[in-house]
Structure 1
Amino acid sequence: MNVVTTHDWDAGAGKVRRHEKVQFSALDLCETDLEGIEFSECVFRDARFNRSRHADVAFLNCRFVNCNFFDATFTNCKAVGSSFEGCSFDLTTVDGGDWSFIVLPRTDLGSATFTGVRMREADLTGVRCRNGTMRGLDLSAAQLTGADFTGCDLRGTDLHAFDPRTLEMRNAVITADQAVVLAMSLGLQIRDA
């Protein structure tokens, strides 16, 4: 696997539109704007994405290890099949796009904002979204056991994968339609008076 550093990126690798099976080591993308670039089966190790902005960028089956996404923005991006280990997402914003099949267990997303994102079959086991924003998400068949959505804004999100017996949802913000979905998941019978 070819290894790319910040020096290599600045020397021209950053102008390449498609990267495949590349390892990015300690890459510094702070305050960088990326648009329309594709990364396929790449590894990002100790990379810094602080205050970076990404539009229509694809991270397909990539691996992120100990990366910092502080105040990063992802608009209509793809992260399909990617995994995140030891990464921080303070003040991260994800707007639209497809993050299906991602592996993001036990990650703190409490200060992150996810809106309108497709996250089908995502592994969010033990994820911590206390007081976060996860609005309008497609979480079909997502793994959510042990997740904490205390005080999280979940309006518009597909809650069919939610089992209130295996995760924390106290004070979460949902709509009446979503309350019906949760009641049905508990086996309750909903009847008019």
Structure 2
Amino acid sequence: MTIRPARANIDPVSAEAPVPDTERVIRDEDWYGQDLSGRTYTRYTFLDTDWTEAVSEGAVFDECTFSGVRFNASRHTGAAFTNCTFRRCTFFDTRFTECKFVGSLFQQSAFTLFEVTGGDWSFVGLPGADLRKATFDGVRMREADLTAARLEQASVTGTDLSGAMLHGSRLAGADLRGSDLSSLDPLTVELAGATISLQQAAVIATSLGLNVE
């Protein structure tokens, strides 16, 4: 049996950001508008760094820690942020296209006008995250932790949520059409006003023990 570590935005978090490698720390740097395409960083820690309007294509960040980093208006395509930790970061008008975030964890971060298109976000930790009006389109989010996440008015379309942890999540008014809802327990989430297809309705009805003919 796999035991998941406790990882909730709403839990107390140490004031100190984890530093995988003390010799690989980038602190208080201004990367405004920089092109990070093709760069590779492994076990780096980015502290209070400004990535506003930065762009990256094919960049790789593995086992990195981002604390207090501003990703505002940045654009990332085909980049990999695997097994990373994002703490107290801001994502305003941030877009990720066909990016890989497998195993990454977000804590106490702010998401406004947040948009993800395609890519693999499996095993990502977004517990308690405020993702209201965010967009996830065609994203692979298998076994993602969305416990108690706020997704009101969000667009989560064509997304693979198989095995996802959705207990306590708020999906009121969300567009969920085309997404895999097989892991959704309608008794433990808020679904009022959400938009789903007839096929998805049948899946939910079946989870409630109803016979669909």
Q: Give me the TM-score of the superposition, normalised by structure 2.
A: 0.85
What is the number of equivalent residue pairs in this alignment? Answer: 190
Instruction: Identify if the C-alpha distance between structure 1 residues 9 and 70 changes in structure 2 by more than 3 Å, giving closer, same or farther.
Output: closer
CA offset digits 1:25-70 (Å, max 9, x no partner): 1111101111110000000000000000000010000000000011
Q: In the alignment, residue 88 of structure 1 is paired with which amino acid?
A: A
Q: Indicate yes or no: 2:192 matched with 1:170.
A: yes
Which structure carries more helix by proportion?
Answer: 1
Residue from 48, 55, 70 that aligns with 2:92: 70
Give 2:123's aligned residue: 101
Q: What pairs with 1:21-32 in structure 2 (closer than 5 Å)?
A: 21-32=43-54
Q: How far is 1:111 from its partner? A: 1.9
Q: Which residue of 1 aligns with 2:29?
A: 7
Question: Relative to 1, partners in 2 of residues 1:22 and 1:138: Cα closer, same or farther, differing over 3 Å?
Answer: same
Shift of the alpha carbon at 1:8? 7.9
Runs of 4+ in 1 over 2 A off after TM superposition: 5-10, 12-16
**Residues 3-29 of structure 1 deviation map (CA, whole Å, 9 limit, x = unaligned):** 01353868x995772100000011111
Q: Is the 8 A contact 1:23 1:42 kept in 2?
A: yes
Identical aligned residues as a percent: 48
1:188 partnered with 2:210: yes
Q: Tell me if structure 2 keeps the 8 A contact 1:89–1:111.
A: no
In the alignment, what sits opposite 2:132? 110
Deviates more, 1:116-125 or 1:12-21: 12-21
Between the aligned partners of 2:37 and 2:187, the Cα distance in structure 1 is: 49
Whether the 8 Å contact between 2:56 and 2:76 is mirrored in structure 1 is yes
- Report the alpha carbon displacement of residue 108 of structure 1 after superposing the two structures with TM: 1.0
Which residue in 2 is equivalent to 1:122? 144
Which residues of 2 match residues 5-84 of structure 1 at below 5 A? 5-7=27-29, 14=36, 17-84=39-106
Farther off after superposition, 56-65 or 1-10 = 1-10
Task: Kindly provide the amino acid, as one letter, of the partner of residue 208 in structure 2.
Answer: L
| TM-score, scaled to structure 1 | 0.94
Give secondary structure in 2 for the equivalent of 1:74. strand
Name stretches of at least 5 consecutive residues in structure 2 with no aligned partner. Answer: 1-20
* Cα 1:183/1:158, change in 2 over 3 Å: same
- In the aligned structure 1, how far is the partner of 2:74 from the partner of 2:35? 17
Q: Distance in 2 between matches of 1:124 and 1:55?
A: 23
- Give the counterpart letter for 2:148 in structure 1: G
Letter of the 2:119 partner, please give it. Answer: G
| Aligned equivalents of 1:14, 1:159: Cα separation in 2 | 36
Decide whether aligned partners of structure 1 residues 140 and 99 sit closer, same or farther in structure 2, where only a CA change above 3 A counts.
Answer: same
- Provide Cα deviations, 1:53-101, integer angstroms capped at 9, x if missing partner: 0000100000000000110000000110000000111101100000000
Q: CA RMSD in A?
A: 1.7
Moved more, 83-92 or 15-24: 15-24
